[in-house]
Structure formats: structure tokens, C-alpha cells
Structure 1
Amino acid sequence: MQQNLGGLFVAIGLIGLWFSSFGLTLMMPLDQVSPVLIGAAVWGRTFLHTGLFITAHDAIHASSFPQEHQWLKVWIGRIAVGLYAFLPYDQCCRNHWQHHAAPGQVGDPDFHNGVDVYLVQWYRKFIGEYLSGGQLLIFGGLSLGIGLMLHFWFQVAWLNLVLFWGLPLILSSWQLFYFGTYLPHRQGPLPRPETNNLALFPARPVNKFQQTSWLMYSFLSCYHFGTFHLQHHQAPHIPWYRLPLVRTEPETVARTTNTVSQ
């Protein structure tokens, strides 16, 4: 229960950070700050935007929510993907469960179709699974309407909107695709999720510095879903911030999987 409440606070915290950073960056006087600060703000907004999708992803798996309050996962998931790109939560759920049913195979909406196997082609196919023609119209209309409102009612500069709302969305989609889909799945189907097969789990890094550096890279690249992607497929109920424990303590997978299945 305490762990699930912690996950709920993490989800709410990420959404809160996204909102606060959105407001602060939209009002940033670009002519009075250095390009380095602007670049850092774009990166921060991109990372938090990716966090919205990760939050929705954990909601789909109900991995960060108390069992007695599962209705929270639906609402937080809807809010997260709505803020991300006005995406329909139900479609994201269907796509993601199809992905887990056949990862890196025919029927996986996140995988290439055998034709669009190269990076840019695969990215286009990946995005198309979540943004259909009709959804693109909804996305464009809502984005334009909100942008006009922010510009004329709150005097937000167009450049701020592009730099801290539009650009982070594009960069975030590439972050999710490249680190969370392309790199883990480019070799094809994943091994079967045999939770007791310890050979699937690499050994601990050789020293503390290497371990810390690796975990930092794992977190910053895609909230651990790139480097620990196999572990996620083996134990999809584990929230993103606990995936490194699965890597370093493989018995955690078997223990938590058995608990959930009972």
C-alpha cells in the first residue's frame, strides 16, 4: 500500500512539474536570458513531457496505484495522455496491450511492418499508430485554439509556445521512440518472459561510479524503459522507478509476479 501511494505521488508530482514548468517557460523573457538557459529549459520541458507518457504507461499497467482505488489510474492516465498530445487513452491502452502480447512481432503496433524498417520510416509508422488522420485534426485544432488563447489572452509570445510546447512534444516523441522502442526492439522479438531465468539479467556494474552513471543515463534517456525494457516485459506491473531493482535483484521479478498472479 505504501509503495502504491508512493507511485501515486510520483505520478501527481510529474504532472505538477509539467504544469509549473509550462507556466514558467511560457512567460520567460527570451531576449533577457542566455541561449544556454533556453536550451536547458527546452530539454527540461522535453524530459517532463516524456514523463507524461510514462505516467500514462504506468496507469495502463496499474503499476503505481492502490488496488482499492484503480479508478484513479484511468483518470490520471487520461489526463497524462491528454496533456501529452490530446491522445485518446483507450486507444493507447489497446495499442500497448497489443505490444505486450506480441513484442517485436506481427501485430505489435509499435514495431515496424517489415517494410518501414529504417529509423525515420519506423518512427513515422510508430506515430501513425497513435495519431490517425482524425486524431491529427483534433490535435491540430486543439493546439491552435489553446495557442491563440494563450497568445491573445495571456500575451504569451509565439516563440515561447514553439520552444516550450511544440518543440518538446516533437523531441519527446523521438525520445520515446528511439530509446523506448527502436533500440530495445530493433533486433526483433524479445526473449520469452521466463521470470526465473537469471541469465537474462546482467550483473551489477563493477564499481559505484559506473553503476551511478549507468542509472543516471537510464533515467535521463527514457525513465529506465530503454535500458530495462526486457525487465519491463517480464514484470510489467513494476513502476518505472523500480525497474533498476528488477535488474540488480532478479528474484524481485519472480516474487512480485507470483504475488500479483495469486
Structure 2
Amino acid sequence: MVSFRSAPTQLGQDSKIQIDRGVWVALTILGIWAVSLFTLLSIDITQLSIPFRIAGLLLQTFLYTGLFITAHDAMHGAVSPSNRKLNDLIGSIALRAYALFSLKSMIKTHWEHHAHPASDLDPDFHNGKNKSLLGWYSYFMVRYWSWTRIISLIAIFHIVHRLFHVPEANLTWFWVVPSILSSVQLFFFGTFLPHREPAGGYQNENRATSTRWSPFWSFISCYHFGYHLEHHERPDLAWWQLPELHQRKLQEEG
């Protein structure tokens, strides 16, 4: 199995262009998330209709998912393959902004997932009993969350509310709920769908499948995380490189 921290990039021959684009894509996601969050926390939410509140909530959910996808790419060294310090710095910022996670700790558990996908040694897999969507998600979240992180996030919520006078309604609609929904989005498209056991059993060593959605819907659903078999086969590729590999595989199969 290919090492996810050191595999060479084959899609796109100009490495400098690829490296620059990886950093640019990551910083763009971080920047849009920050500007969007600041804007939504600053507006008078009482003047927004429910449809506009929901639109802002969904936008933030998508951007929060983008934060984790950016950190996930950094775990594989795909944000900046030639500059490990820059790669890890961007990944750490994205992961801390997402939910105060440590990049170093996440790299360790994510490596275990790639080394032992959909098995007892996979930290992302269910325990053999909680195979349903809700049961597996609950088991998944318990393994990754800690009381320290939860208390820290609650403290940040109240500090921002009291020190910067941000209404609790804004924080709830555009920070708390989107971060929770993004975890559901990531779990459903990046763990449950691709790694649940098919009726005929697993068909490859990565124990993963991929959606056959168009690149547009694949991006909208979860930044191409649904092209999951391709990701396990080429973990060195950034999320925005997966559609090219997916289309190539479809052409070879057809």
C-alpha cells in the first residue's frame, strides 16, 4: 500500500504549478470561511428571514467541511508537497479552526485508517455492533471527541459572546450548528458510504467504494470525498485532483 505521506504526484507534470495551486486552494478556503463567518456573526440576525438564515447556515457548513478537507490534504502532504513546514502549518490552522484538533494526533489516527481500512484496527470503523448510520456516527464521534475540547469550545463561545458582544443566536446559527452538520457531512460521505460493507463483501484491499456522481455533485456533496477508492489508491493527490483520476478510471472500465 502506498505511503500517504510520501507518494509521488503523477497527475499534473509541473510540480511547481501543483504546489502553488495546493497552497492557493487551501488559503482560499480558509479565507472565504473566515470572511463569511465574520460577516455572518456581525449582521443583525433578527432582520434575516428564515430562508436567509438557513442559506447562511448551509454556506458555513460547506465551508467548515472545506476546513477539514484542507487539513485532511495536509495530513497527506498534499497541500504543499515540497514544503513540509508550510503544509503542516496550513493543516494545523485549518484543523484548529475546525474544532481545536491537533494535526499531529490526527495524522497518527488517519494513518491507522489507511493502513487498516474497515477493520478492527481502523479508528474510523464501527465496533461490529453499531453498523447503522446513527449508531456508527455516534461511536465515531465518541472516539474523536474529548471533554477538554468540548469545554474549550464552550468557553470560546461565551468569551466571544461576552467580550465581542456577538449575539448567541448568531453564534448558534453560523458557528455551532454548521460545525456539527459538517461532521455529519464528512462522516456520511467520507466514512459511512465508502466503507460500509457491500452485500457481496469488500471487493478490494482498501475496502472502499466510490460514488459515480458527476464532478459538480461530487464537489457539492463533500469536496470529492465520495471518490474514496481513488483517494485510498492515490492518497498523495489533493481533493481537487481526484475527479481527473476518477474519470480516467471510468474510461478504462468502459
Q: TM-score, normalised by structure 2?
A: 0.85
Which of 162, 181, 189 is the equivalent residue of 2:191? Answer: 181
| Aligned: 1:60 with 2:75 | yes
Tell me what 1:196 maps to. none
**Residue deviations 1:197-224, cap 9 Å, x none?**
xxx999xx8xxxxxxx722211011100
Task: Name the residue aligned to 2:10.
Answer: none
Runs of 4+ in 1 over 3 A off after TM superposition: none
Q: How many angstroms does 1:46 deviate by?
A: 0.3
The residue that corresponds to 2:122 in the other structure is 108
- Equivalent residue in structure 1 for 2:38, among 23, 27, 48: 23
d(CA) in 2 for partners of 1:159, 1:84: 19
Distance 1:2 1:157 in 2: 43
Amino acid at match of 1:158: E
- State the match for 1:223 in structure 2: 223
Write 1 or 2 for the structure with the bigger share of helix: 1
Select between 20-29 and 182-191 the one with higher mean Cα deviation.
Answer: 182-191
Match for 1:191 among 174, 182, 204? Answer: 204
User: Quick one: distance in 2 between partners of 1:192 and 1:151?
Assistant: 49
Q: Distance in 2 between matches of 1:34 and 1:201?
A: 38
One-letter code of the match for 1:192? E
**Equivalent AA in structure 1 for residue 47 of structure 2:** Q
TM-score by length of 1: 0.83
What CA RMSD, in Å, does the superposition of the two structures yield over aligned residues? 2.1
Question: Greater relative contact order: 1 or 2 (C-alpha under 8 angstroms, separation 6 or more)?
Answer: 2
Correspondence 1:1-262 to 2 at 5 A: 1-67=16-82, 69-131=83-145, 135-136=146-147, 138-187=148-197, 189=202, 191-192=204-205, 214-226=214-226, 228-250=227-249
**Distance in 1 between residues matched to 2:130 and 2:184, nearest whole Å:** 16
Structure 2's unaligned 5+ residue stretches are: 1-15
Asked if the contact 2:19–2:80 (Cα under 8 Å) also holds between the matched residues in 1, the reply is yes
